[in-house]
């Protein structure tokens, strides 16, 4: 295995007496597409925020290239790690094109100022498929359209790590599929992609690695074929499921009554 981008050792997060992340230990390397799944309240977003350096662990550590993620100079960290959070109502009073251009700010002393900036923004717009609404006000977009714009802004950063919190949550089926194909392609080309998801079948189809969480703990971590086991799915999600396999060997779940 390659040297890890992130080395997380016994990371714990507490809010008062409640421990919402309980001893997470894992390594994340270049070229992986890691899907983090689990029921509501499992600690998925908490783990992602620890990785993103947005939430310091109460104990344990999360190192990015040997330095605590939260101790990196934020501009340097933002050049290398992009984060796409879930969209919320209200949002930003900017045009879509301006939101995407903001992704270049960690690389610039000003605002969107070089040929390299222009090229990176153009590539990001094409990858996210948002060419047809660049002139619209971000506030007037649907939740799914906003999510694609924020993805484009993150891609414009040209990061080596892309962290996403339920990126397909507001997308229609066509755009869910195109998003997962894009994330798979990005990881194949060397990017580390980590995405929180509720869709086990999409994760199994496109991710190279799945992490299942429950009650703040990592319950499984491995290739989709290793993680997608009926007993494990029942233990984590409290549902009965049958595991089937495509011709490619990829597992998929059929849920029982």
List the domain boundaries for the chain.
6-255
- What pLDDT does residue 21 have? 97
- Name the pairing type of β-strands 161-165 and 81-84: parallel
pLDDT tens for 130-149 read: 999 999 999 999 989 999 99
Distance between CA 215 and CA 51 in Å, rounded?
18
Q: Give the residue-averaged pLDDT of 190-197.
A: 97
- Range with the lowest mean pLDDT among 30-34, 107-111, 154-158, 161-165? 107-111
Q: Would you state the torsion angle of the CA atoms of residues 152, 158, 160, 162, taken in this order, to the nearest 10 degrees?
A: -10
Q: Give the residue-averaged pLDDT of 144-171.
A: 94
Helix ranges restricted to H, 24-73: 44-51
Distance between CA 202 and CA 182 in Å, rounded?
13
Reported confidence tier of residue 107, pLDDT bands at 50, 70, 90: confident
Q: Give the residue-averaged pLDDT of 210-217.
A: 98
Per DSSP, which regions of the chain are E strands? 6-15, 18-28, 33-37, 59-64, 67-68, 81-84, 161-165, 192-197, 209-214, 217-222, 241-245, 251-255
Half-sphere exposure of 134 (CA within 13 A, CB side): 16
DSSP letters, 179-208, are: HHHHHHHHHHTT-EEEEEES-HHHHHHH-S
Superfamily of domain 6-255: P-loop containing nucleotide triphosphate hydrolases (3.40.50.300)
- Range with the lowest mean pLDDT among 115-119, 178-182, 218-222? 115-119
Reported confidence tier of residue 88, pLDDT bands at 50, 70, 90: low
* Residues paired with residue 196 on neighbouring β-strands, in sequence order: 36, 165
User: Residue 223 gets which letter from DSSP?
Assistant: -
Token duo for residue 10: 């016994």
- What pLDDT does residue 170 have? 87
Q: Give the residue-averaged pLDDT of 194-210.
A: 96
Q: Give the residue-averaged pLDDT of 233-252.
A: 92
């Amino acid at each position: 295995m390659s040297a890890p981008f992130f080395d997380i050792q016994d990371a714990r997060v507490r809010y008062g007496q409640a421990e919402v992340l309980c001893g997470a230990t894992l390594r994340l390397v270049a070229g992986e597409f890691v899907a983090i799944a689990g029921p509501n309240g499992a600690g998925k977003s908490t783990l992602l925020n620890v990785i993103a350096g947005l939430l310091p662990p109460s104990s344990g550590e999360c190192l990015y290239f040997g330095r605590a993620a939260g101790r990196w100079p934020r501009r340097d960290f933002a050049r290398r790690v992009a984060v796409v959070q879930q969209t919320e109502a209200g949002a930003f009073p900017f045009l879509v094109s301006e939101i995407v251009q903001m992704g270049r700010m960690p690389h610039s002393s000003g605002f969107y100022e070089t040929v390299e900036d222009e090229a990176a923004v153009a590539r990001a717009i094409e990858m996210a498929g948002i060419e047809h609404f660049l002139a619209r006000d971000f506030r007037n977009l649907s939740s799914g359209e906003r999510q694609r714009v924020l993805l484009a802004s993150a891609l414009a950063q040209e990061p080596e790590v892309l962290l996403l919190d339920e990126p397909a949550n507001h997308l229609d089926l066509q755009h869910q599929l195109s998003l997962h194909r894009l994330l798979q392609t990005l990881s194949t080309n060397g990017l580390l992609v980590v995405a929180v998801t509720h869709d086990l079948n999409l994760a199994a189809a496109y991710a190279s690695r799945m992490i299942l969480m429950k009650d703040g703990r990592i319950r499984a971590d491995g290739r989709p074929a290793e993680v997608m086991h009926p007993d494990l799915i029942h233990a984590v999600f409290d549902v009965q499921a049958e595991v089937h396999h495509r011709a490619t060997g990829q597992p998929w779940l059929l849920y029982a009554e």
